[in-house]
Chains A and B, each alone.
Chain A
Amino acid sequence: MAKNEIKYLTAIKQEKPKKKFCRFKKYGIKYVDYKDIEFLKKFINEQGKMLPRRLSGNSLKYQRKVADAVKKARQMSLLPYVTDLLK
């Protein structure tokens, strides 16, 4: 056993992750517009890749709509396919 390994008597209390909610259900947004870049930027990371559902917290139905809108925006070069420090 490594000499300097610190042993805790009780488990370290991790900070409870913020309860994720599907913003589409909460705010009643029904349509994801592929032209609305600022809104779509919330669902992609710095490299321009789409965030998975576990990070974006969307429900399946709206995650697919977001994915569809992001792909359309990329097709019409409103969003880059790959980049760095997008935000």
Chain B
Amino acid sequence: MNNYELMVIFTPVLSEEDFKSAQKKYQDFIKENGGDTVASNPWGLKSLAYPIDKKTTGIYWILEFTAPSTVNEKLKIQFLRDEQIMRHMITKLDKYAVEYNHIKRNGGFPVHKAVEA
């Protein structure tokens, strides 16, 4: 059971409930394959740094989950098949990353991080 973080960019034309149903679909997909979601954090509509498929904005969604290592391959196939998704990225989280996300979620960092450099 490793910790992973998934970031997905949907096409901007997606409506709100499609966006929600897509989130739900993938979270259930992970649950079926023996993983479970730690935190889901939809960023919503954001402008892209460079156009992807001629679109300059996209709907971002970040999902942190734990799953056995076999799940990612199946997940990737789902993403490639789904044409609403422009780009996706799954990163493996090491223990520092998990701790970082944990701190970030409940309560920010101690003040000194903001004052550095």
**Is A29 an interface residue when CB atoms closer than 8 A count as contact?**
yes
Contact assessment for B7 and A76 in the assembled complex, using a CB-CB cutoff below 8 Å: yes
If A77-B9, A80-B49, A81-B50 touch, does A30 touch B89 (CB 8 Å cutoff)? no
**Chain A positions 16-47 with a Cβ under 8 Å from a chain B Cβ:** 23, 26-27, 29-31, 33-35, 42
**Is A59 an interface residue when CB atoms closer than 8 A count as contact?**
no
The digit string for B56-100, where 1 denotes a CB below 8 A from any CB of A, is 001000100000000000000000000000010101001011011
Q: Report the minimal beta-carbon distance from A22 to chain B, rounded to whole angstroms.
A: 11
B residues in contact with A76, CB < 8 Å: 7, 9, 87, 89
Contact assessment for A77 and B100 in the assembled complex, using a CB-CB cutoff below 8 Å: no
Classify the interface of chain A: helix, strand, loop or mixed.
loop
**Is B1 an interface residue when CB atoms closer than 8 A count as contact?**
no
Q: How large is the interface on A (under 10, 10 to 19, 20 to 34, 35 or more residues)?
A: 20 to 34
Contact assessment for B113 and A77 in the assembled complex, using a CB-CB cutoff below 8 Å: no
Closest to A79 in B: B49
B residues in contact with A30, CB < 8 Å: 96, 99-100
| 12 cross-chain CB contacts under 8 A | A23-B117, A27-B112, A30-B96, A31-B99, A33-B100, A33-B104, A34-B91, A74-B49, A75-B87, A76-B9, A79-B49, A83-B49
Give B contacts to A, CB under 8 Å. Answer: 7, 9, 48-50, 52, 58, 62, 87, 89, 91, 94, 96-97, 99-100, 104, 112-113, 116-117
List the 4 closest A-B pairs by CB distance, nearest first.
A30-B96, A80-B49, A31-B96, A77-B48
Give A contacts to B, CB under 8 Å. Answer: 23, 26-27, 29-31, 33-35, 42, 72, 74-81, 83
